[in-house]
Amino acid sequence: MAKDLLNRKMVSGAALAALLLSGWTAPSSAAPIDDAINKAGKQRMITQRLMKDYAMIGMNLDLGNPDADLKKFVQQFDSILADLDKYSSEQKIRASLADIRQQWVPLKKVLQDVPDKSRAAKLQRDLDALLAACQKNTRLMAELSGNQRGEIVDLAGRQRMLSQRMAALYMLKAWKVDDLDFSGKLSQSMDEFSSAHARLEASPLTTTEIRAILARVKKSYAWFEMMGRSKSGRVIPSLINKSANNILADMDKVTAMYAATKK
C-alpha cells in the first residue's frame, strides 16, 4: 500500500495555490448561501495553512515555496473577509466577522515578520483561537441555509482545514517547537477527520463522482495514520506536505460539488 501511495501523482504546491487562489468560486449552480459557507469555511483552512507555511519557512524547507504561499494566503484571508461583508446584515454574522477582524489584525503582522521559533507556540495557540472564530462564523452561515446541503458543505469544507492542521502540527514537531500538546491535538484532529469522512461517505448527497474522490482522499490520509502510529516519532515533512495538499485539493473540489448539488 505504501508503495502505491508513494507512486501516486502528487499535486504541486504551485498548482494547488493556483486552484485555491483562482477564486474561490463554486460552480454557478451553487446557491449564494452555500457558496458563502464554502468561502467562510476556507478561512478555517487558511488559519492552519499559514501555520504550516510559517513553520516550513522557519525550517528553511523549500516545499512548494512556502514564503510565497504564506503571502498569497494572507491576501486570500483578507479577500474572503471583505467578500463576506455582504452577509453582515445578519446581526450575529456582523458580530462574528468583527471578532475575526479583531483577532486577525495583530496575527497578520506576526505572520508578515521573519518566522521566529520562540514565537511559534504562541502563534499556534492564537491561530487556533482565530480558527474557532472562523468555525463559529461558518456554522452561523450554515444555520442560515436551513438545509442539509448547507450542513454537508460545512462538514466537507472543514476537512480542508483538518488536512492543513494535521500537517501544521507535524511541521511544528519537526521544528521541535516546545510547549505544544502535539499528541493530543493531532489525535483529536485525526479522530475528527475520520468521523467526518465516514459521515460524508454515508450522506445521501454523496454522488458516485464525489465518492470516487473521497476514496482518493482516504488513501492520502493513510499517511497521517501511519505516521501517527509510528513509534519512531520520525516526521517526513515532504511527504506530510504532499499528502495534506492532495487532500486539500480533493476536498476543495468536493466541497464545491456539494454546494452545487440540487438535492
- Which residue, 152, 132, 142, is CA-closest to 204? 152
Q: Which residue's entry shows cell 469522512?
A: 197
Instruction: Provide the whole-model pTM.
Output: 0.84
Contacts of 6 (CB under 8 A, 6+ apart): none
Q: How many CB atoms lie within 10 A of CB 229?
A: 7
| pLDDT tens-digit series, residues 31-86 | 577 778 888 999 999 999 999 999 999 999 988 899 999 999 999 999 999 999 88
Per-residue cell: 255: 466541497
Instruction: Calculate the CA dihedral of residues 17, 78, 186, 235 and round it to 10 degrees.
Output: 40
Query: Considering only CA atoms, which of 184, 243, 240, 235 is closest in space to residue 218?
Result: 243
Domains of the chain, by residue range, sit at 2-260
At 163-217, the pLDDT tens digits run 999 999 999 999 999 877 888 999 999 999 999 999 999 999 999 999 999 999 9
- How far are the Cα atoms of 10, 40, 119, 125, 259 from residue 107, in angstroms, in the given order? 31, 18, 11, 11, 30
